Amino acid sequence: MTAKRKATKHALEAPDREVAALELRRAGCTYDVIARRLGYRNRSGAWHAVRAGLTATLAEPADELRGLELERLDRMQVAIWDKAITGNLRTVDRVLKIMKRRSALLGLDAPRQVAVSVGVTVQQMAEKMAARYGLDVAEVRTEAEWILAEMRGAGGRHRPAAARDPEVPA
């Protein structure tokens, strides 16, 4: 169980200061000017306030719109539910589409993994990296192959000697 925190005067004023910081930034003020006018210690505090203000102002309309869309979906589903549970397949299909849309709006679906292929061989990449960083091509290729094997779940416990960093123990 987490303890409830008491709202401090500073915490209660923070959203108002964030909105003020955002308005000043929109008016063209620098972060240094915003910090001085609103009492932040430095430009970093002003930058964080502007960012928080942007996040809040963008999140509120999106949350409201998401809520409205969910209400619409609920009303549509209620309107056709009785027909769907009696076995009307076309209506069942519509209910499933409504459910799929609701799930997407709420972020309930598991993220998809997408494989990306760039058409570059390990050898080509090793040659480029070796040339750029002044390394041995064979060592870079060995390291790259070890990393790929590890990512695929086929990597062994110990790296090949050529792929070990001499400063890091095996």
Each residue of 65-117: pLDDT tens digit?
A: 788 899 999 999 999 999 999 999 999 999 999 999 999 888 888 777 777 77
DSSP state of 170: -
Backbone dihedral region for residue 39 (phi beyond 0: left; psi -120 to 50: alpha; all else: beta): left
pLDDT value, residue 91 = 96
pLDDT digits (tens, 9 = 90+) for 112-150: 777 777 778 888 988 998 998 899 999 999 998 888 888
- Going by C-alpha positions, the residue among 33, 16, 14 that lies closest to residue 24 is 33
How would residue 168 be classed by pLDDT, with cut points 50, 70 and 90? very low
- Going by C-alpha positions, the residue among 141, 143, 140 that lies closest to residue 160 is 143
Residue 116, number of CB atoms within 10 A of its CB: 4
Angle at 152 between CA 148 and CA 154, to 5 degrees: 95
How would residue 5 be classed by pLDDT, with cut points 50, 70 and 90? low
| Domain ranges (residues) in the chain | 10-106, 122-163
Rounded-to-integer distance, Cα 55 and Cα 60, Å: 9
